[in-house]
Amino acid sequence: LPRETNDTAPNRVILIRSNHDLIPLAGRLAMTRSIAHHCHHGPPGTIDFSNLAITLPPGSVRVDVKRHEKRYIDFDAVSIKRDLGTFLSQAHPIDLQQPTTRVRVILSDQCYIGILLGKPDRSVFEDRRAQFRPYFSPISLHPKLARCLVNLSGAQPGTRILDPFCGTGGLLIEAGLIGMTVCGSDFDEE
């Protein structure tokens, strides 16, 4: 749910209302760093960590804090992690190595608290760059951008994607990897 902000730095958090399982999105997204179940948000100084209504599954927990665009530099991320961790440790053991659940705090235009659901593996895109294909063209799209364009098309797995000017096939590769039937052509035989 986009919000109005007077801040000049871009908002790095998008809130979405959905009745669907969002975890499968982690395997499809290219520009997203993490997907979390939203628990609470507000200005950092106004959040009472000891009074939050966060329902966690059974097991251990870890709290991670990420600051975007040097926002809220007056707030100590370690203190936020400690205060929220102290509250959560009343019902769940803290495990910094292999927790059952990760609680993510993001300092962006506000302080967002969520239960981490998934993180897309963005490193795989580098292995599919155009220079590693049998034919190289300097105008080929980076795989992350190609995946983003495929996602913007709204096409679902099982649907057919046609790229009539496919070049080195970047869009088709990304569409095929997420389950679409692909078809392409190009003037250049290579």
Tens digits of per-residue pLDDT, 67-108?
A: 877 777 777 788 888 889 989 999 999 999 999 999 999 888
Q: Is the pTM of this model over 0.85?
A: no
> If pLDDT is split at 50, 70 and 90, which confidence band does 4 have?
very low
Q: Is 62 helix (H, G, I), strand (E, B) or coil?
A: strand
* Beta pairing partners, 87: none
- Please tell me the predicted confidence (pLDDT) of residue 189: 82
- Please tell me the predicted confidence (pLDDT) of residue 181: 96
Tens digits of per-residue pLDDT, 148-176?
A: 999 999 899 999 999 999 988 999 999 99
> What average pLDDT does the segment 52-58 reach?
87
CA distance 145 to 130: 12
User: If you compute the radius of gyration of the chain from its CA atoms, what whole number of angstroms results?
Assistant: 21
